Amino acid sequence: MTDVLIRGVPAEDLRMLRAAAEDEGSSLQSYLSAALHAHVVMLARRRALAEVGARLDGKAPVPDEVRAEVFEQMRQTDRSSLA
């Protein structure tokens, strides 16, 4: 892994980050690493959605009734995985 140094973090921001890490029972290093990873995951998802959007540009949308059925099946799958 590569190390990253961030300079010039405002004192109040650092205080809040330390408090959030303490609330989670983790170190500041661990908290910031997880937060950074979550941001990277969000960026990857945003890029993937943009690519899908570009591929679908100009194509007919999925009919509402089909979309509703897909969402219902997803909800049922989510419920069954929690059982």
Q: Is the pLDDT of residue 78 over 90?
A: no
Largest CA distance in the chain: 52
* For range 74-80, the mean pLDDT: 82
What pLDDT digit, counting tens, does each position of 25-36 carry? 999 999 999 999
Q: Is the pLDDT of residue 83 over 60?
A: no
Q: Which residue carries 């509703």 as its tokens?
A: 68
Q: Is the pLDDT of residue 72 over 60?
A: yes
Name the residue ranges covered by the structural domains of the chain: 11-82
Q: Which residue, among 29, 27, 42, 38, has the nearest Cα to 1 in the 3D structure?
A: 29
pTM of the model: 0.64
